[in-house]
Structure 1
């Protein structure tokens, strides 16, 4: 007869996480204890987290802009700082009726915008089929559509000139800096979601160049970038014919380039 698995106490969970180097061991333990349905599942979750798997992949979800966003192994985890981008989009285009989330990953941005805008047509697109499968789950409650392909090539042609909010949380880490990322990102998130080329702006430039064709008059493109890249990112938006400005948050350490089609 198989003996019952001993129940890990909250103290034991915290100790295991702290020993593994988890800085916020108490907070993480609380989430694991609340999510696990059985002692066996809790033990497995603690082991996976202690082995370095991102907490969100262990839980199966990430908190983002008041929503629980489903995330799966191998899919980019939405960062809380990117909520700043969502808020700027809502401020700029509160009446948008069509939202497109390029490089959508889990679909967190599209879901967050749809949740606030109400009756909106929302599309998510990504080159990674695993990300698109995940985004489909998160956009389904909002009647969202998902597409697999390279940036605008993935989108239905009927969206041209109709998009009120176009978000593109593009990969913007310079290639040489990818090996310096924390192991959670470097080892468990797809390189295509992190590596932005030599200066980190390869994908952003392509997104900016194609945006005017897809944006409605007055529509806006928003993309996150690094502080040292921001001037070049603004220049790329302006070169594409967009009226560009930079929004910054010291609290979130976030830098968002916004471009308006006049």
Structure 2
């Protein structure tokens, strides 16, 4: 069955999107009308949007921190709230920092950090999902950041142990029981592996925190995003790993970032030059 027929005027499109529950119907209408392809293509895209498919997949890109990031179907769509994770990472990182992004998804964070950090050495971005790796490689080619396939620190060269100034990750942190409460467009279309953080949402973040001290340079930082209700539990996780925790909260964006700082005097597990 082909796409439904409807008037392609802006007002009619806004009305249809609003009826389907699209909160930003006016902006979505403008973006959809700008897609090349004519009335049939537009009708198909609108039908898919009304059915719940994420706008970013229909457009092929997402706006994040002033950058247009390519997003393939199934790859985690960067959220506006994650701007706090980026600004927190920038705030704790000095010039000429060595940086790795884990759980990189589309590579959006590395793309923005390449612009915002002073003379950064973005060594690599990493993701375990082949679709995300392929997408991130396209997004990061222009800034010269290699994208490695693997689980957390596993694909990094051993020579990088103890030498990273910043490890940043938007790891999955939704508790499994809360997955059913996510908006349908996330639950039905995005990779569950990029969202599901296990029984309490901290399964991946615990592994990340436990391994980070072996990779961070003295004074280096792990920076992650968590849910507000997870702060105290993850604070304990960071402390147990030997990292000094801190919290940054943006109530307006409903965003929480946490950092774990590697103490300056940590020497255990470091590789010698």
What is the TM-score when the length of structure 2 is the normalising length? 0.90
Q: Could you say what secondary structure the match of 2:257 adopts?
A: strand
Q: Could you say what secondary structure the match of 2:172 adopts?
A: coil
CA distance in 2, matches of 1:148, 1:29: 36
Q: Cα offset for 1:42?
A: 2.1
CA distance in 2, matches of 1:22, 1:260: 40
CA distance in 2, matches of 1:97, 1:50: 44
Q: Could you say what secondary structure the match of 1:219 adopts?
A: strand
**1:189 aligned partner:** 190
Q: Cα offset for 1:158?
A: 2.9
CA distance in 1, matches of 2:96, 2:34: 37
1:130-141 alignment to 2 at 5 Å? 130-141=131-142
**1:162 aligned partner:** 163
Q: Cα offset for 1:37?
A: 4.7
Alignment of 1:234 with 2:248, yes or no, is: no
1:1-262 alignment to 2 at 5 Å? 8-117=8-117, 119-122=119-122, 123-262=124-263
Unpaired runs of at least 5, structure 1: none
Q: Could you say what secondary structure the match of 2:94 adopts?
A: coil
Equivalent pair of 1:45/1:58 in contact (CA under 8 Å)? yes
Equivalent pair of 1:96/1:165 in contact (CA under 8 Å)? no
Distance 1:96 1:226, change over 3 A: farther
Q: Cα offset for 1:126?
A: 0.8
Number of aligned residue pairs: give it: 258
What is the TM-score when the length of structure 1 is the normalising length? 0.93
CA distance in 1, matches of 2:143, 2:118: 8
Distance 1:13 1:245, change over 3 A: same
CA distance in 2, matches of 1:13, 1:94: 47
CA distance in 1, matches of 2:147, 2:47: 34
Unpaired runs of at least 5, structure 2: 264-273
Equivalent pair of 2:7/2:13 in contact (CA under 8 Å)? no
CA distance in 2, matches of 1:121, 1:38: 44
Equivalent pair of 1:6/1:39 in contact (CA under 8 Å)? no
Q: Compare 157-166 and 35-44 and name the one that shifted more.
A: 35-44
**2:271 aligned partner:** none
Q: For 1:10-46, what per-residue CA distance to the aligned partner results, in whole angstroms no more than 9, with x for missing partners?
A: 1222122123221221111012122335333322221
Q: Cα offset for 1:59?
A: 1.0
